[in-house]
Amino acid sequence: MSYLQKSPWIIHYDASSCNGCDIEVLACLTPLYDVERFGILNTGNPKHADIFVITGGVNEMNKEVVQNIYEQMPNPKVVVAVGICACSGGVFRECYNISGGVATVIPVDVYVPGCAARPESIIDGIVQALGILEEKRNEMKTGTKEAA
């Protein structure tokens, strides 16, 4: 297990979520779930982050914000879409201003469905993302797939 998997720092962004999933994401930091046990920190700064945890279906207004945050994160990085809205747009999918899921804007690595997603499944999603993070690092080292 490399250092990368032992110290994943996350940035959390609310892309027009109803705040249900956001509260569950923040619940992961509370004494009951305490994700800092795994070295996970909520940085709030894209340049320090390894995992982009994003909730909500992404509307036309924050599309560029989501892309901007994603581009500011240094490689290797992974994206975890939390909640059914982030996965597919959920009940808001047909709305005129909703893009219909995070994957329409940036590449998503792990989908965590649920309305709202349970803290247990969010933590599970992040732990699965760690495996992908490690793969991406190996790709970066060997230079098989060079991301910009």
> Which residues are near other proteins by CB under 8 A?
2-4, 6-8, 31, 34, 36-39, 41-45, 47-48, 50, 72, 74-76, 137, 140
E strand intervals along 1-148: 9-14, 41-42, 51-55, 78-82, 110-112
Question: For residues 63 and 137, which CB has a smaller minimum distance to other proteins in the complex?
Answer: 137
Question: For residues 124 and 134, which CB has a smaller minimum distance to other proteins in the complex?
Answer: 134
CA gap 83, 20 in Å, rounded? 9
**Nearest approach, Cβ of residue 10 and other proteins (Å):** 10
Beta carbons of 79 and 108 less than 8 angstroms apart: yes
**Nearest approach, Cβ of residue 25 and other proteins (Å):** 12
**Nearest approach, Cβ of residue 115 and other proteins (Å):** 25
Beta strand pairing status for 78-82 and 110-112? parallel
**Nearest approach, Cβ of residue 81 and other proteins (Å):** 21
**Nearest approach, Cβ of residue 70 and other proteins (Å):** 12
Question: For residues 44 and 107, which CB has a smaller minimum distance to other proteins in the complex?
Answer: 44
Percentages of the chain per state (helix, strand, coil), in multiples of 5:
45, 15, 40
Question: For residues 21 and 98, which CB has a smaller minimum distance to other proteins in the complex?
Answer: 21
CA gap 11, 13 in Å, rounded? 7
Question: For residues 21 and 87, which CB has a smaller minimum distance to other proteins in the complex?
Answer: 21
Q: Is the dihedral of CA 31, 131, 64, 49 positive or negative?
A: positive
